[in-house]
Amino acid sequence: MTDDRRLIEDFIPIKEIFAESAREKSIRKGHISTLHLWWARRPLVASRAAVFASLVAAPENHQKRSAYKKQMIDLCQWKASEETIKKAQKAILEAQRTRLGLPENTPLSEVPPPKVLDMFAGVGQFPWRRCGWVVRPMRWISIRWPILLSFARWFIRKSMVKSWRMRWSGGGIG
């Protein structure tokens, strides 16, 4: 068995991610959290960091660790630049090429993207969808079930009210 140690098992710049997560929480214009008050909203910053760190191999030396630290801090900015996203995509595809045992000279465009299971119930998928990858949540965001359930119950009650109204008004009794 090969040693497939990931960055998330080795190192994550928690202090920097925490600071950026706190800053992200105060953003009120253009942020997805302003669409709806989620019960258990995970910060996009932490989601990006965790998904990225789970897809990239652990660094072999201090120099590479420093480079990953800078890359993760840049990636965790609320408005990460397109260049930052491309660098993250390149690092992930390089790790994928190594993981699949493809030759080093294989162009990154020919490396199949990793299949990503988002452990943050769909929230961590947004930056990776920008890369054009298919991302599946491990479980759905908890708000969807109560909304669907309440809509179904409302629909049932509304249709029952109509049938009772028809019955008691004389329109539905034959």
Q: How many CB atoms lie within 10 A of CB 40?
A: 9
Q: How many domains does the chain have?
A: 2
Produce one character per residue of 101-129: b if its CB has 16 or more CB atoms within 10 Å, e if not: eeeeeeeeeebebbebebebbbbbbbbbe
Is residue 2 assigned to a domain?
no
**What pLDDT is attached to residue 174?**
41
Does one domain contain both 149 and 133? no
Please report where in the chains the tokens 């359930």 appear, as a residue: 149
Does one domain contain both 147 and 136? no
**What pLDDT is attached to residue 127?**
60
**What pLDDT is attached to residue 121?**
54
Nearest to residue 133, comparing CAs of 150, 119, 114, 147?
A: 114
**What pLDDT is attached to residue 75?**
84
Does one domain contain both 136 and 156? no
Does one domain contain both 149 and 75? no
Residue 120: domain span: 7-140
Is residue 1 assigned to a domain?
no
**What pLDDT is attached to residue 94?**
92
Q: How far apart are CA 60 and CA 5, in angstroms?
A: 10
Q: Supply the pTM of this predicted model.
A: 0.65
Ordered mean pLDDT values, 10 residues apiece, the chain (174 residues) = 79 86 68 54 74 87 90 82 86 91 92 76 56 66 63 65 61 48
Does one domain contain both 128 and 151? no
- What values do phi and psi take at 30, rounded to 5? 85, 5
**What pLDDT is attached to residue 3?**
75
